[in-house]
Amino acid sequence: MNKIRIQYFIFFLTIILLGILSRKISVIPLCIGDFLYAVMVYLLIRIFLTNQKATHIIALALMLCYGIEFFQLYQAEWIIQLRQTLFGRYVLGQEFLWADILVYTIGIIFTYLIEKIILKYHTYETRFRFK
């Protein structure tokens, strides 16, 4: 694994931990967990596609988040039972909400902007570092 993938993976694991904590602490709004879910999806895609353009990563992350959200409209017995498990609750969600679509979009765009700022700063630092 190269260095950038390891960094994305560490951020990915951190976001998962924060997301789980956000669901355990009752004073944190549920939209924070959805926001972190979108960040996690973006980072997961970035781990595997480190050399892809950001627009591709954004599109893939949005499609995955939207797809999972719209999949919540599917109510077959087997998927309802899966959603009652811890894995199903965290990964597949419980119910379709249009607000989640908005939060996913904000989370992915926010992550892209933070990534762009960090990479720009990192590039600037390495370019102008005096030895």
Q: What is the pLDDT of residues 86-100, one digit of tens each?
A: 888 888 888 899 999
Concatenated DSSP letters for 57-101?
HHHHHHHHHHHHHHHTT---HHHHHHHTSHHIIIII-SS--HHHH
9, 46 Cβ separation under 8 angstroms: no
Max CA pair span of the chain = 64
Q: Write out pLDDT tens, residues 51-79.
A: 899 999 999 999 999 999 999 999 999 99
* pLDDT score of 128: 47
Question: 123 pLDDT band (50/70/90 cuts)?
Answer: low
- Calculate ∠ Cα 68-73-76, nearest 5°: 105
Return the axis-axis angle of helices 3-24 and 30-48, rounded to nearest 10°: 160
Quote the pLDDT of residue 107: 98
Give the Cα-Cα-Cα angle 25, 38, 109 (nearest 5 degrees). 120
Per cent of the chain over pLDDT 70 is 91
User: pTM for this structure?
Assistant: 0.88
Looking at the predicted structure, is the pLDDT value of residue 114 above 50? Answer: yes
